[in-house]
Amino acid sequence: MSKYRHTSMYCYPGTDVLVNKFGIQDEEKLKEVEKVYTLYRLSELYVSEPAVPADLNALIRIHYQIFQDIYAFAGELRKEMISKGHSSFAHPDFIEPQLKRIFKELEQERYLRGKNRYEVIPRLAYYLSELNALHPFREGNGRTIREFARQLMLGAGHEVRWEQVEEPAFIINAFVDSFYGNNEKLEGILAEIIQ
């Protein structure tokens, strides 16, 4: 059963498998290949200098870097409606204007520089929840947003260690709650992993 509710222009006809550079039309095989390539690209980002400032262009570059080997849409904003479970994400017409609004706010907050750990947590949770609600990319929003947060925090003098979260489902559940306006779980996770 599809995690999305409709046929996608990004998928092979009659399937939920994303069109990919390998021509793989088996979803499980694609997940395996995607995992290998994205882990490699994320490791490259981990040892590279973080984006300064961590702005909209940085978010788009991060998505491209992670998914460039797999999808032709790497680094491109989503062009169709998507939903997961009971959550419908932003209409494509609103993605770019809302991203500009979010990043204008982030710029006005000086990319969270100069804030101590306790000040940073609720603000970072706010920005992550806003980006998640938009779901600006067709695939890979979670990985992109987490890497963006890591780079943003490095620029602000803090470190985010997502790998310290014991169960990936905790992050997913926190983002689901934040989608509905409750950042409590997300802030709790961030309190544990930001140094």
Please enumerate in sequence order all residues whose Cβ is within 8 A of that of 135, keeping only pairs 6 or more positions apart, or say none.
Answer: 78, 82, 89, 90, 141
If you average pLDDT over every residue of the chain, what do you get? Answer: 94
pLDDT digits (tens, 9 = 90+) for 90-111: 999 999 999 999 999 999 999 9
- Which whole number is the average pLDDT over 116-139? 97
Assign 1 a pLDDT band (cuts: 50, 70, 90): very low
188 is a domain residue: yes
109 is a domain residue: yes
User: Residue 182 sits in a domain of what CATH number?
Assistant: 1.10.3290.10
Q: How far apart are CA 181 and CA 194, in angstroms?
A: 22
Which is more confident, 7 or 22? Answer: 22
22 is a domain residue: no
pLDDT at 28: 97
3-state SS assignment for residue 101:
helix
Peptide bond into 53 cis (omega under 30): yes
Task: Report the domain count for the chain.
Answer: 1
15 is a domain residue: no
- Which whole number is the average pLDDT over 126-130? 97
Is the pLDDT score of 3 beyond 70? no
The pTM of the full predicted model, rounded to 2 decimals, is 0.93
pLDDT at 6: 55
141 is a domain residue: yes
Tell me the DSSP string of 42-73.
HHHHHHSPPPSS--HHHHHHHHHHHHTTT-TT
pLDDT at 2: 46
16 is a domain residue: no
Is the pLDDT score of 145 beyond 90? yes
pLDDT at 67: 98
Range of the domain at 162: 27-193
4 is a domain residue: no
What are 144's two structure tokens? 């992109």
Residue 11: strand pairing partners: 18
pLDDT digits (tens, 9 = 90+) for 32-43: 999 999 999 999
11 is a domain residue: no
Residue 160: strand pairing partners: 194
